[in-house]
Amino acid sequence: MKTDTFSTFIWLALVGLTITTWRIGETGLAGKGAMLALLVIALIKGQMVANYFMGVRHAYWGWRALVLVYFILVGGLIAAAYLMGVQ
């Protein structure tokens, strides 16, 4: 697959995920399930941007692991803060 075509595919996937999060918000979904879905989508989008548009996928494995751990840590802390507030 050519680089331009691949980048376009990744961009379209990001647009699709963004539309999905917008639809979740517009339909008024709430609760733990909706929060988890939105958070997972945000983490996937962040990882896609880092890997394909920031070039992390070509970096040393330590840098890739650091970015992945960062996304998981931040996502986990956001989820924990939300769940503590819900109780």
Helix 3-26 with 32-48: angle, nearest 10 deg: 160
Render each residue's pLDDT in the chain as its tens digit; 87 residues: 566 888 899 999 999 999 999 999 999 888 888 999 999 999 999 999 999 888 888 989 999 999 999 999 999 999 999 989 876
Domain assignments of the chain as residue spans, ordered by start: 3-86
Both structure tokens of 67:
């970015």
| 3-class state of residue 30 by DSSP | coil
Return the DSSP state at 42: H
